[in-house]
Amino acid sequence: MPIGEFEIEKYYVAQGRFVDGPASGLLAGPVSVIDVYGEVEASGSQATAQLLFAPAFDGGLSGDVDNVGLPAVGLRVWANLPYEDFTRMYDILRNEAPVRLWCEYEEGTTATRQLTMVGISSLSNEKPGEGPADSDSVN
């Protein structure tokens, strides 16, 4: 499967709640959002991703990757994730530097593909067991 990735330059995080009940639709209850942004390229393109976490998605991952093969526009990742994944992804994002978003998506010929995997990873070469108070963690 093809892979897309970019180093995260900045991010936005939010927590909210939708009303419970049939009028609320798919997103009843709590919802968390992490938006991440890559570097703005000289062409003006910028890779971005929106990670939406809600109990409605507790069955697994879904989403799309847009602008595949269109470097002048920048990769766009839209991911719906289980609510329980928010804490682990946010922990890496706020405690590690540098960090990268990477994803895998279905083969195809169109610029929009089905997302099959998404993650946030540290790009540092840390020794195991350093814990959250290591000398290169972000304060």
Tell me if 121 sits within 8 A of 8, measured CB to CB: no
Integer CA distances (angstroms), 18 to 6, 89, 90, 94, 123, in order: 31, 22, 21, 25, 35
Residue extents of the structural domains in the chain: 3-122
Q: What is the pLDDT of residues 44-85, one digit of tens each?
A: 899 999 999 998 888 889 999 999 988 888 999 999 999 999
For the chain, helix (H) and strand (E) counts, in that order, are: 1, 8
Report the predicted TM-score, pTM, of the whole model to 2 decimal places.
Answer: 0.85
Query: pLDDT by residue (tens digit) across 120-139?
Result: 999 777 766 666 665 555 55
Place of tokens 């890559």: 38
